[in-house]
Amino acid sequence: MELSTVDSTNNYALGLIKTNLAEHGTVVFAQAQTAGKGQRGKAWITEPNSNLILSIIVQTEFLPLHQQFVFSAAMALAVQSFFNNYTANETVIKWPNDIYWNDRKAGGILIENIISGNGSWQWAVVGIGLNINQIHFPDWLPNPVSLKQITGKRLNCLELAKELCKYLNHYYQLLQAGALREILLQYNKSLYKKGTTVKLKKNNAVFDTTIQGVDERGNLLTGNAFIQSFGFGEVEWIVPAK
């Protein structure tokens, strides 16, 4: 469904689930949203009628809860694969699921889950925001970039959303087929700064470490002789300004 304006496509999709109006594969696409949500409670700022904003409702009952990260990795790979069509395969995934090009953020994913009373994972709402035609961003946003800035072309966001959904469906089918190891391997091959030394911050202390990969639980693995494991939210990535 296409909306001109909404507070948040994720909120709209969650409302469909809560009122028993949800169907697997329902896509909520908006030209503008007034209260977009990002990771860890942050706002997602987007210029109206300029970017790809959508949420897709996905049935997840066939997956156990401990595979939430592999599901997230599959969705990130779908978005990366789609974006690579326009960036000469130069798009990578910054842990856990931001889309990066040349050290600049092109988009992100926010997944919100519905867990039943008996502990089964019923639904996931996959919210995706991608910078498409926007060229002016707030000064406080860290290193944003859009497809128009990369390609020099203005693109149709609705048509791009339809194309993206084909990739999302492909990776969902891989999950259904049990290709979890393949998904995790592909995610690690696509991981931003893997094998290089980066700066992370924990408890206001900045330190240098080498990115080794991400495990099946979604923990970031860093270090050399001694491997450290960090859960999402434990460390902040210090990305050089562009």
Query: C-alpha angle 212/40/58, rounded to 5°?
Result: 85
Could you list the pLDDT tens digit for every one of the 242 residues in the chain? Answer: 999 999 999 999 999 999 999 999 999 999 999 876 656 556 667 888 999 999 999 999 999 999 999 999 999 999 999 999 999 899 999 999 999 999 999 999 999 999 998 889 999 999 999 999 999 999 888 899 999 999 999 999 999 999 999 999 999 999 999 999 999 999 999 999 999 999 999 999 999 999 999 999 999 999 988 999 999 999 998 887 76
* Domain that residue 232 falls in: 197-238
| Count of the separate structural domains present in the chain | 2
pTM: 0.94
Q: What is the pLDDT of residue 44?
A: 65
Cβ atoms of 22 and 60 closer than 8 Å:
no
**Is there a single domain that holds both residue 230 and residue 113?**
no
Do 74 and 101 lie in one domain? The reply is yes
Same domain, 110 and 13: yes
Least Cα distance to 80 among 55, 108, 113, 38 occurs for 108
Same domain, 122 and 230: no
